[in-house]
Structure 1
Amino acid sequence: MNQLVVFRRVCTCFLLLLLVLQFAVSPAFAREDIGTRDALTDRIEKYLTDLKNDENSMGMYAGIAVYDLTDKTYLYRHNAERNYIPASNMKLFTTVAALDKLGPDYQWRTDVFLQGKVNAAGVLAGDLVLKGNGDPTLMPADLQQLAAAVKEAGVKRIDGDLLLDESYFDDTRLGVSWMWDDEPYGYSAQLSALSVHKNFVTIAISPGKAANTPPTMAMEPATTYVKINNQVQTVAGAETDITVERPRGKNEILLTGTIGVSAKPYEEDVSLEDPALFVGDIWKQQLLAQGIGFSPSTQIKKTSVTSGVPFRTHLSMPLGEVVVELNKQSDNFYAEMLLKTLGATEKGTGSAEAGSEAVADVMKRAGIDTGFRQVDGSGLSRFDLVTAEQIVKLLDFAQQQTYGVELEKSLPVAGVDGTLKNRMLTTDAEKNLMAKTGSMGGVNSLSGYVTAKNGHKLAFSILINGIYKSKYARDLQDFVGTLLASYPQITAPEGYVPAREKVYPLSVLLDPLFAQPQAVGVTAGVIVKSLDKTGDAAILYEKDADALLTPASNLKLLTTAAALSQLGENYVYKTELYGDAPVTKNGVQQGNLYLKGYGDPTISTENALQVQEGVTIEKIAAWIKQQGIRQVTGNLVLDESFFDKERLGLGWAWDDESYYYNPTLGALALNRGTVMVEYKPAKQAGEAVAFNLLPKTNYVTIVNESKTVEAGQENTFAILRDRGTNTIRLTGNLPLDHPGDYERVPVEEPAKYAGTVLQEAMASQGIQFAPGSQLIVQTVPPSAVKWHEFTSLPLKDIVAYLNKKSDNFYAEMLLKTIGAVKKGTGSAAAGAEVVQETVASFGGKTNFDMVDGSGLTRYNLISARHLASVLEGMAKQTSFAAFDASLPIAGVDGTLKNRLTDLAAAKTIHAKTGSMTGANSLSGYLTTQSGERLVVSIIMNGYVEDEDFFMELQDRIMSIVAAYE
């Protein structure tokens, strides 16, 4: 063998050895890297597993994404493609879009116009106009400077009006589906293009010098625009228990409760109605302080300035500074004003909808095309839905933009400032983690950046929903944040072995349904359980069965089950009639007439509003006539004391108040708290839309601003009620070819509604009240004489209507009835307490939140397992037949009449439906082809492109289960 051949062979062997060594060494590096990631994964997964085993946190579900911005790779993902309510993490979308579209140097303008001339005597013979362009930072001091400028121009008196222009934004004052009970507070302030002091007043209450002495109160800014009724009392000690109320649609603030003589001053930011007029009041004060007078006829009014050169302009601080306060302090008002500003500047319309479109444009550039929903700027709405992966993509995108540094400056820093000032102290995350927090009932989120031990910058998002105890959510976030700050110096948890997914008899059939692309953003809690088997054999399928989800109307199963169990299926409601004396024989009844309600949900008038037999106003009036009474000399007194005075369920949305499914509540209520407006086109185009009111009552006022238009034109007709009033407006256009329809509209103060209609019915029977008689709401005195008792249908019939039709009013009245009868308090909270006791008696767990009786509020959080335990428990009760008969039957009646119609076993499916935006449920009983009795509960929350998918998926599940043998 020559030397050349030997040399070539030696070289070849050497090269092969190098390759072998390279392959031997490379996996070692890869294993080290993978091992670090596995340790990170195992630490987080073990933590999540431990949470699922604790009753206080087992219903919590999280979406987590961690992305290494240096290596451009994901380090960890857990349900990162599922949608979650983000709370204030929604502000990241708004902030990035604003910095992108407007730039950090953007400033808002507030303009002053002089409409008229100033004569030699300093009199402005015309109007002074203040125009807002959405500045969220405007304060009284800024108005003071503008007022000083008016004075410097020589104006000493204004003979015209003070005009306020807020036309840069629309007139929608609150975000989509914000909750009415948040309204009194500054974090839910109303929106206007002309705003000051963030559209709230700050009230400070200090204790008196001694117990039983009046406390002192201050308001900033001081204004006559808001009236305050301060009923707070000073008491001994250092405790404070103060309640703030502001009736819907009014600028009246009621302060009640106590403040300890040794307590610190109590402060609360309280919102107000129609903020532009509030600005007008503060503006006038500042002008007066400059010595500028007004004509006696001067008024503060709203207007719209279309042209002209402003006399003086105030510029806000730059956007780059505004977003610091927005995110550090999580300021909802700044975020909402910013979103509408984006709509105005980018889309030509100052609305949240237009602003969200502008945000979506930026999201597309960030690689987030679809799969999320934004309806407001702050995250206060529970209609907002995003994924952890989307937020991480947004954070990555922002890092590549010139304004990335501005975003980082705006984020709270762990252990340093903002909403993270007191979190992750003395950990590796302190000063190394900057992130946006977000929290509200059942929701907690944290997303931002962290610098790891190896110097890499990581983007992360932790979105958590279904929270029963908020501490556990914050602890999870702090655990993950601290872990990321120490990366890659992470050790695997000792002895941890990832749990294997349980396999159930139906897993192979049902699991693929949830793997569909349409279901990627959905969290589904599902359980299928046999009533004919015991133990583990009874569970045919489970998926996230403990996740606490929004159940929508499936919550009515709990309300009706508890009612039947606790009150009995033959329970009847009573409505009582009293007088100050026994019924007279001469036809003139001396004294008052009293009507006392006990929560009967079926009281009605005898027209299209009557849905069940029972007590009617006409029957009450007829009974009074039968006694020979022709006149009542006193008042008509209405007693609704059996229930509390909370007219709406906690967490109900303000923008639902005009709709029948959002009724007002009271122990004496009529027609499910509503009137009916029937409508149809007029005979000719151009005429007002024809309408008919049922009942024909003076209790409501109809303002008809609508118009009939030619056939084929767009239908924009709408029926809305002015907030907090009984004024109903008909607006928009109704085409001639429209067939006509009706709407039921809720009214305020249900007892007064019932009393007014009773007076009118009595008048139609020839029974009059004496001149000066009044309609009064108060309790029946002990001295009153009971004349008669009217009774309802038995409870089993009421429950049947409730569940078949999914009637919210019935459900809410029933919940308060349970509280009144069993706890002595006719409130939703007392009723919910009885429901939980009932669930416990069935053997179910009570680690869920129930706030109303109908499922309309998104404060409700419950799992499929909870619902299944109620269904299973009711199957053993003597009232089961009544409960089962109340449920809609697939393909036959109620809300399931048009579903599962082609299924052979359809009629064996008795189940309650439930649906709201982003939430859909179906729970009930099913008998399989082999005759096995099952309970099935399905709750789905999340974002889908077409919400019909929820029902299609439910029906597919039921079809598979029904065919199972």
Structure 2
Amino acid sequence: MKKMKRIGSKLLLSSALAMQVFVLPAYATSTETTSVVRTIPQIDSLVDKLSKSLNTIGMHAGIAVYNTRTGEILDEYDADKTFVPASNLKLFVAAAALDKLKPDYRFKTEVYTTGQINKQGVLHGDVIVKGYGDPSLSEEDMRNMAKELSKKGITSIRGDLLVDDSYYDDVRLGAGWMWDDESYGYNAQISALAVHENMISLSITPDDSIGETPSLEMNPINKYVTVQNNAKIVEGSNNKIVIDRPRGTNTIVISGTIGKQSSAYTEDVAIDDPALFAGNVWKNALSTEGIDITKTKVKIEKTKITTGTPILVHNSQPLSELIVQLNKQSDNFYAEMLLKEIGVVVKNEGSFTAGADVIEEFLKKEEIDTNYRQVDGSGLSRMDLISPKQMAQLLKYVSQQEYKDVFEQSLPIAGVDGTLKSRMIGTSAEKNVHAKTGSMTGVNSLSGYVTDQNGDKLAFSILLNGVRTSTSATAFQDAVAVLLSQYPNQTGEGVQSIADTFLLSTLIDPILDQENLKGVTTGIIVGSLDRKSGEEVLYQREADDLLTPASNMKLLTGATGLRELGPDYSFKTELYLNAPPNKHGKVDGDVIIKGYGDPTLQSEDPSGQQNGTKVAKLVEDLKKKGITQITGNILIDDSQYDFQRLGTGWAWDDETYGYNAQLSALSINRSSVLVNYQPSEVGKPVTFHLEPKTEYIQIINESKTVSADSSNTFIIEKERGKNIIYLKGDLPIGAHPNNEQIAVEEPSLYAGTIIKEEMEKAGIKLSKRAEVKTGLVTDGNEKISQLSSPPLSDILGYMTKNSDNFYAEMLLKRLGADKKGEGSSSAGAQVVKDSLLKFGIDPTYRMVDGSGLSRYDMLSARQIGSVLVGMSKEPYFDVYYQSLPIAGVDGTLKNRMVQTLAENNIHAKTGTLTGVSGLSGYVTTKDGEHLYFAILMNGYTSSSSILTEAQNKIGVALAGVSFK
């Protein structure tokens, strides 16, 4: 299928004129000739309609179709581009598992004992359960295992219950999984010993009177998890139940209401540290089967078996049956366990990485392009990237293998079962299409098989990103699948493909058409700020595609901050007393500090912005008031903002780092500490010091200094949900001093602790019982001091030039608090949409945070361009313009485009996440014309330098353009 360019107004130039205007540099282009495949032209029409419907504008598609009998390519559209595949990635895992493990492969779980069993059946020793990655192990299986122990004569255990999950590594969550998904069953942690898919199933039933607490059932029953049921029964049939499990804990909090007339509410909740959970379920199973474990203190601890013969072995169903659950029900847990299993079987390493390596080698062996990225097995991670061609090639290959029937029978069938049970009913695709679905916010996929009218089996893959409504995505997929089921007897016509040409096409096309950018989706628009309406767009490609913007999202946050708050806006921080000092300066009461979201607030240490707002001034003002002693507590009022500390969709494995800092209306030093470290003497611990030096953080130093020729394995880790930092590994003696910015938990309490310590250093006496805790400013409290931040114009400069995520998030919540009365990211994002709508910016984008850290964010190049154009007409444009990094001069562009015409010319915002790169801003041409540009690039699977080099080339080319 020929690719349709979905773009608007055209500026046509003859090729001769174009060559006169521009002197083009030479760029490497593809030597391959891409054939235009138009066997199924009706699909052209379906794709063309995506850009014309209000429901689908921004959605971009990749399609590949093969005839598995002939090997013929029947249809392609952006088939080489890489997409986030969601659960379609499970097909990679299923195929590799069948190929490497074989369909009859079974997982095992072993039970060992130590010590002796006396004549009365008393085991004077331990019972150890060792897991080998069985994803299907259930509570019933454990009861059957307990029965087997009983049959072997064991009546009582006088030792410990130990669990061994060492068969896999201890990385529990996939790379890039989102912290706010962590409590849900579909996001369960991964361990070699697992029961009930490492989750519990809760059922909440309104079976009591209105106003009372509903009943709760938990399966499997265990004492490992603590449940706080705070829900209430109300009148009606609606339920507003909220279930939360705070990070790093096994406490589940149920809140909200459930209607008296409603049915039971059910939810699966993932648990933390799952091997110990399995041990607890095992303990209950032993007790249920009558094995006495009450006469001694039973411990559940981790261990590692190295030798011995198991007393019993439990085997799972064969792989051929397990992959039915994997694919028909799109079971994430099964996918991840299978990925680690093929890693340990083939590579002797039960890790995500080893499993992904096995799959890559499998694909290479079958000559399938491996220019893709896989970091997990389920597709939960948005760092996964594959192309439709790779998927369709895999399906074509599998169709020729001995295990082809096992593979195909595991797939959902349209209108029959699994995740396709309710789709394509009453069409020629019903009971015909066997395919794997995939769905996440912004992503929707369908890949599998369909039999055409000639009886040939077609392998197809439809990958969709930039999806705003799943119904429109599935409708498109279903329509394509129906067309394939009717091939070659479809009715209807395709659309005529016309290549659009723009004034700058001959300048920019060769850069973007390079072979090394083949898999990248680029949304780009370039326009003039000086030309009249209708002539201002000089170039565009995929300009309406909704892409992940990374830090280009800060352009929207900053623009709205200036528009709604003004460049002179200042954040404040207040200090109150709830009791007046006596004549001796003693306060028989509390100090209350109220935060309003100042992102620049800092102690005297250099871990915050230079020239920020010093909290020491609050203490100075207390001293000026003659206050010498405070008998109460340090209360923190952070009520200006909500209590969601992390952005929606932020990755769990970024939590440690300062760029992912937690948010609070009262935060100091960007909610982080600086750990400085350097080698000491060989054999001794690495030397470190903390800035600021505070009791709020505990550092456990397990590292050591090693000889200069030793490997550098030094790492800094923070325990999840706690303010405990570990220094681990070896640091060679010759290593240079370095530092790491580490995010803290509960930043408001951190801020209060810093202020408390500042007060003590200043000689203000505090009670030994004084605590830092949350509180509220109330009527009658006396304001003693107020701090004011630098103006927003300065804050914006720091935020944008340094791409500071914390500043962006604090500003977004401030917008929500000031304009909506709600200091939340969602309220702030609504302010942004309302404000930018006045620029005429299409509100179809998705904004869930202010920094662009979230991969839920979706934005088009055209929308960014509209912001840049709109801001150029505002009276404070110079503030906005000067806040941007300058090529070759400062910020994140300091080392880019140096010694070119773009140096000290381009003012633009960078944006980088794994698989994502962007550059958007302003440039002045060689003859003085002012241009704006927005470039969003998604889908690279190798080095990000490939994308920045392309952006640099475009920037330099624009700076060198002369239209005269």
TM range (shorter): over 0.9
Task: Choose 633-642 or 900-909, whichever is displaced more.
Answer: 900-909
Question: Whose Rg is larger?
Answer: 1
CA contact (8 A) 2:71 2:396 kept: no
Instruction: Measure, in 2, the Cα distance between the counterparts of 1:56 and 1:929.
Output: 41
**Residue aligning to 1:738:** 735
Q: What's the secondary structure of 2:153's corresponding residue?
A: coil
Rounded Cα–Cα distance in structure 1 between residues aligned with 2:69 and 2:157: 63
Matching residue of 1:335: 335
Contact map agreement 2:574 2:594 (CA 8 A) in 1: yes
Alignment partner of 1:721 is 2:721: no
CA displacement, residues 798-828 of structure 1 (integer Å, 9 cap, x when unaligned) = 0100001000000000000000000000000
Matches within 5 A, 1:407-806: 407-493=407-493, 497-682=495-680, 684-806=681-803
Secondary structure at 1:661's aligned position in 2? helix
- Whole-Å separation in 2 of the counterparts to 1:612 and 1:825: 29
Secondary structure at 2:535's aligned position in 1?
Answer: helix
CA contact (8 A) 1:39 1:491 kept: no
For 2:209 and 2:701, the matched residues in 1 are separated by 57
- Partners of 2:902 and 2:419 in 1: how far apart? 55
Secondary structure of the corresponding residue to residue 626 of structure 2: coil
Identical positions, percent: 48
- Seen in structure 2, the aligned counterparts of structure 1 residues 39 and 297 have a Cα distance that, compared at 3 Å, is closer
Query: Where does residue 85 of structure 1 map in the other structure?
Result: 84
Q: Secondary structure at the match of 1:48?
A: helix
8 A Cα contact 1:66 1:74, kept in partner: yes
C-alpha distance in 2 between matches for 1:173 and 1:37: 44
Report the Cα distance in structure 2 between the residues aligned to 1:46 and 1:39, rounded to whole angstroms.
13
1: distance between equivalents of 2:482 and 2:264?
36
SS of 1:908 mapped into structure 2? coil
Give the CA deviation at 1:659. 1.0
Conserved? CA contact 2:634–2:772, under 8 Å? yes
Which stretch has the larger CA shift, 762-771 or 334-343?
A: 762-771
In the alignment, does 2:273 pair up with 1:269? Answer: no
Amino acid at match of 1:763: E
- Displacement of 1:903: 1.0
The two structures have a TM-score, normalised by structure 2, of 0.95
> Separation in 2 of the partners of 1:378 and 1:690?
41
**Alpha-carbon distance between aligned partners in 1 of 2:581 and 2:861, rounded to the nearest angstrom:** 55
Q: CA deviation at 1:40?
A: 2.2
* Alpha-carbon offset, residue 214 of structure 1: 2.4
In 2, Cα distance between equivalents of 1:730 and 1:111: 35
Instruction: Pick the aligned partner of 2:885 from 881, 885, 888.
Output: 888
Structure 2 stretches lacking a partner, 5+ long: 1-35
Q: Which residue of 1 aligns with 2:45?
A: 46
CA distance change for structure 1 residues 350 and 500 in 2, over 3 Å: closer, same or farther? same
- Tell me if structure 2 keeps the 8 A contact 1:519–1:944: no
Distance 1:233 1:705 in 2: 48
What amino acid maps onto 2:745 in structure 1? E
SS of the aligned residue for 1:40 comes to coil
Q: TM-score if structure 1 supplies the norm length?
A: 0.95
Shift, 1:104, TM fit: 0.6
Where does 1:32-431 land on structure 2 (aligned, <5 Å)?
Answer: 38=38, 40-41=40-41, 43-294=42-293, 295-431=295-431
Contact 2:228-2:253 at 8 Å conserved across structures: yes
The superposition leaves residues 715-736 of structure 1 with CA deviations (integer Å, 9 ceiling, x where unpaired) of: 1111110000000000111000
> Offset of 1:499 from its aligned partner?
4.2
For 1:190 and 1:926, how far apart are their aligned partners in 2? 48
Q: Displacement, 1:296?
A: 3.1
Q: 1:947: how far off?
A: 1.5
Q: Report the residue type matching 1:360 in the other structure.
A: E
Matched residue of 1:943: which SS?
coil
Contact 1:40 1:492 in 2 (8 A): no
| Distance in 2 (alpha carbons) for counterparts of 1:926 and 1:584 | 63
User: Could you tell me how far apart the structure 2 residues matched to 1:472 and 1:583 are?
Assistant: 66
- Contact persistence 2:373–2:941 (CA under 8 A): no
Structure 1 gaps of 5+ residues are 1-35
**2:956 aligned residue:** 959
Paired with 1:72 and 1:361, the residues of 2 have a C-alpha distance of 22
Report if the CA contact (8 A) 1:614-1:791 is conserved. no
Check conservation: 1:63, 1:387, Cα contact below 8 A: yes
Q: Which residue of 1 aligns with 2:11?
A: none
Please, which moves more after superposition, 284-293 or 580-589? 580-589
Query: Which AA in structure 2 matches 1:190?
Result: Q
Q: Secondary structure of the equivalent of 1:801?
A: helix
Q: 1:823 maps to what in 2? A: 820
3-state SS in 1 of match to 2:63: strand
Answer yes or no: is 1:812 the counterpart of 2:809: yes
Give me the whole-angstrom Cα distance separating, in 2, the residues matched to 1:560 and 1:583: 43
Q: Which amino acid aligns with 2:288?
A: A
Question: Which string of whole-angstrom CA distances, capped at 9 and with x for unpartnered residues, describes residues 452-488 of structure 1?
Answer: 1221110000000011222211111000001111111
Q: Does 1:912 align with 2:904?
A: no
Aligned mates of 1:904, 1:961 — CA distance in 2:
9
Say whether the 8 Å CA contact 2:502–2:539 is kept in structure 1: yes
* Equivalent AA in structure 2 for residue 108 of structure 1: F
Amino acid paired to 1:654: W
Greater mean alpha carbon deviation, residues 160-169 or residues 284-293 = 284-293
The answer as to whether partners of 2:581 and 2:588 remain within 8 angstroms in 1 is: no
Q: Sort the Cα spacing of 1:172 and 1:409 in 2 relative to 1 into closer, same or farther, 3 A.
A: same
Amino acid at match of 1:421: K
Q: For structure 1, which segment, 778-787 or 589-598, has the greater mean C-alpha deviation from structure 2 after superposition?
A: 778-787
Partner secondary structure for residue 401 of structure 2: coil
**1: CA distance between counterparts of 2:327 and 2:487?**
26
Q: Kindly provide the CA deviation profile for residues 177-231 of structure 1, in whole angstroms up to 9, marking residues without a partner as x.
A: 1000110100000010000000000001112344323211111111111111112
Cα displacement string for residues 766-787 of structure 1 (whole angstroms, at most 9, x for unaligned residues): 1122242322202212221112
| Superposition deviation, residue 366 in structure 1 | 2.5
Amino acid corresponding to residue 154 of structure 1 in structure 2: G
- Specify the alignment match of 1:928 in structure 2: 925
Q: CA deviation at 1:514?
A: 1.7
Deviates most, 533-542 or 642-651: 533-542
Contact 1:39 1:490 in 2 (8 A): no
Larger mean Cα displacement after TM superposition, 673-682 or 283-292 = 283-292
Shift of 1:54: 2.0
Q: CA 1:509–1:614 in 2, change beyond 3 Å: closer, same or farther? A: closer
Match of 2:867 in 1: 870
Contact map agreement 2:385 2:941 (CA 8 A) in 1: no
Distance 1:384 1:405 in 2: 27
Asked if 1 retains the 8 angstrom alpha-carbon contact of 2:37 and 2:76, the reply is no
2:370 maps to a residue whose letter is: T
Which structure dedicates a bigger proportion of its chain to helix? Answer: 1
Range with bigger deviation, 555-564 or 576-585: 576-585
TM superposition shift of 1:99: 0.2
Query: 1:56, 1:847 within 8 Å by CA — same for their partners in 2?
Result: no
Aligned residues: 926
Contact map agreement 2:67 2:457 (CA 8 A) in 1: yes
Corresponding residue number in structure 2 for 1:846: 843
User: Against the structure 1 CA distance between its residues 524 and 318, is the aligned structure 2 distance closer, same or farther, given a 3 Å change threshold?
Assistant: same
1:689-744 per-residue CA deviation (whole Å, 9 max, x = no partner) reads 00001111110110111111100221111111000000000011100000110001
